[in-house]
Amino acid sequence: MSFLGEKELKEQIKLIIPQYRPKFIDSNKYELCLGASYCASDSKFRVLQAEDNQIVVNPGEFYFLETYETVEMPNDVMGFISIKASIKFKGLVNVSGFHVDPHFRGKIVFSVLNAGPSPINLTIEEPLFQIWFAKLTSASESYNGKHQNQTGVNGKLLNDHMSGSDNASLGDLQKQIKDLDNKYEKVLVLASVLVVGILSLVFKAHLS
């Protein structure tokens, strides 16, 4: 297996990414852009559409994001995917797979988590993801996985991956912890008032 260099990438990219734009070829990799559909743990995992060409990934929340482009992998080429370093440094972490199977066709969907302290603003059709291509020593059998012909973030994707899920995001857990802290503080205040009241009654009884 060997990776496609810049020359080979420029020669083959149109066959792999029909919607490719030359400006997004960067050395031996292609920069994939962000699509408009997404879902988020803080929106109860409903399929949403970007507003004003922006998606805001809140701290501690889990999101499904899609590529703007559709890829059509040859049966003798494998893809390796990542998020651009400039976005990763803000805290956006890819928690899904890191490769694209030979013969896969469709949009790539990333599962991401904002592990940073601040919201991360993402712009539709701007480069967010990266893909490198590796030539295999022999062709693979046709890919027939459930993601074949994937059209991005949609109801089918959520049914496949989130059906019956009741997992709390980090943001949910932080809120629950904060709520417990507030309740604990209220209990301490009430307990202190009761103790002071009881001691006051005892002291008055002792004086009398």
With vertex at residue 115, the alpha carbon angle to CA 58 and CA 108, rounded to the nearest 5 degrees, is 80
What average pLDDT does the structure give for the chain?
Answer: 86
Third-level CATH fold of 2-162? Deoxyuridine 5'-Triphosphate Nucleotidohydrolase; Chain A (2.70.40)
Q: Tens digits of per-residue pLDDT, 38-86?
A: 999 888 888 999 999 999 999 999 999 999 999 999 999 999 999 999 9
61 burial type by CB count under 10 A (0-12 exposed, 13-18 middle, 19+ buried): buried
Three-state SS annotation for 153-191: CCHHHHHHHHCCCCCCCHHHHHHHHHHHHHHHHHHHHHH
| pLDDT for the residue 147 | 86
Confidence of residue 181 (pLDDT cuts 50, 70, 90): low
Q: Quick one: average pLDDT of 87-95? A: 95
Q: Which pTM value belongs to this model? A: 0.76
Three-class secondary structure of residue 55 per DSSP? strand
**b/e burial code for range 74-106 (CB count within 10 A of at least 16 → b):** bbebbbebebbeebeebbbebeeeeebbbbbeb
